[in-house]
Amino acid sequence: MKKGIWVLAAVILAAGAWHFAFSAGAAPAPAPSPVADGESLNPVAEPRIITISDGTREVSYGLNDSTAAMDLYQRLPLKIELKDYSDNEKIFYPGALDVSDTPRAKNREGTLAYYGPWKDVVLFYGPYRENEELYELGRVLENGDRISQLRPGMVTIEKK
């Protein structure tokens, strides 16, 4: 008889804990979207993927879940001038982006970043120095080896 009471009490406690957890709004987190290096693009929303093409070569990027990345994504498609800059990056000028919740860029090849003072987007294909005003928009997904080969001039940037 005592054993039956203990089992009943354990079942009631387990049911109560389960009810409390799910009635408080806790639910299993959705699985993150994988990217090339195992990081998450944006675990809650649909992945935002863009392509940059010079007509011959195309590079794909996965955007993160920041306000600046969403701001850029909402402006697409764009036909815009791509320029060579230094020996490790290409740049284009989409205008000011909202960086209010955008993470700082880490020194990783394949980073798509936004440099606040110049209002330009940077496609890094080599190492670079981190900077307080350099914000990460996303990472290369496909054809990262072609970033340096994109021709300066008009490119098309589209949602994929």
Q: Read off the DSSP letter of residue 102.
A: P
Q: How far apart are CA 111 and CA 135, in angstroms?
A: 10
Span 82-88, average pLDDT: 96
Burial 117-128 (b: 16+ CB within 10 A, else e): eeebbbbbbeeb
Place of tokens 């709004």: 25
In angstroms, the CA 5 to CA 14 distance is 14
Domain 48-159 CATH class label: mainly beta
Q: What is the pLDDT of residue 87?
A: 94
* Distance, CA of 27 to CA of 108 (rounded, Å): 34
pLDDT at 102 over 90: yes
Residue with tokens 């205008």: 95
CB 146 within 8 A of CB 61: no
Mean pLDDT of 90-115: 97
pLDDT > 70 in the chain, percent: 72
Rounded to whole angstroms, how far apart are CA atoms 107 and 55? 29
Give the pLDDT score at 157: 98
